[in-house]
Every structure is written in structure tokens, then in C-alpha cells.
Structure 1
């Protein structure tokens, strides 16, 4: 099997690749890292009393 250059794929192409090649953990971690870098993922601190408001705001920003 020819190695995949994950960086040559768009984020959506990488997402589709990960969904169809779930055993490829390197692709998964690359997808997670790129998603975080692109602001597609957020971290939730459940001790923050405004966590729900922050999630709602982030979702609205990405629509």
C-alpha cells in the first residue's frame, strides 16, 4: 500500500479518509491536530459556569 501524504489532503478529504480507514491512527491524530489548528474543535472546562454559552457562541461563529 502506498503511503498517504495527509498534508496534501484538505481537511474534509482527510476526514473522509479517517472515516473509511479507522485503523489508521496516524491519519486520525493528524485530523485532530489540523481540526484544532483550524479552530474546528474546542476544549470544554466543565468547571467554567459559562461553558454552554461558549459552545453556543462557537457553533454560531462556524455556521
Structure 2
């Protein structure tokens, strides 16, 4: 079995790899770690009474930033 070099992949390449190799848990964890480091992960606090509004704001910010990168 060939081992993929996750570090050599861009974050988008790693995402595509993970989607086509769903059984590769190490690749998934690498994707999650790198996504968090890049600020591309959105998280919610269910104890926050306004979590839905916060989530909507985070999604809007995320999509506006991604649109600027393209």
C-alpha cells in the first residue's frame, strides 16, 4: 500500500483526497488539523443561547474570505 504525502498536498488537494479515500483516518485527521490551523473550521458552542446566529455569522465570514482568495 502506498502512503500519501499529506504535507505535500495543498489543503484543497488533501480535502479531495480525504473525500475519495474515506477509510484513511490519518488523512482525515491531517485535514482536520490543517483546516483548524488555517482557520477554515467552524465550531459552535451549544451552551450559547445564540449559537445559530453565531454560526450564521461564521459561515458568512468564511465564505466571504474564501471568495476573496479565488
Structure 1 gaps of 5+ residues are: none
3-state SS of paired residue (2:22): coil
Query: What's the Cα RMSD here?
Result: 1.2
Match of 2:26 in 1: 26
Within-5 A mapping of 1:1-63: 1-63=1-63
What is the CA deviation profile of residues 11-45 of structure 1, one whole-angstrom value per residue up to 9, with x for unaligned ones?
Answer: 11001101111111100000011111111112211
- CA distance in 2 between counterparts of 1:56 and 1:47 reads 16
Runs of 4+ in 1 over 4 A off after TM superposition: none
Structure 2 gaps of 5+ residues are: 64-70
- CA distance in 2 between counterparts of 1:59 and 1:13 reads 22
User: How many residue pairs were aligned?
Assistant: 63
- CA distance in 2 between counterparts of 1:29 and 1:4 reads 13
Query: What TM-score, normalized by structure 1, do the two folds share?
Result: 0.86
Query: What TM-score, normalized by structure 2, do the two folds share?
Result: 0.79
The range that moved more, 36-45 or 23-32, is 36-45
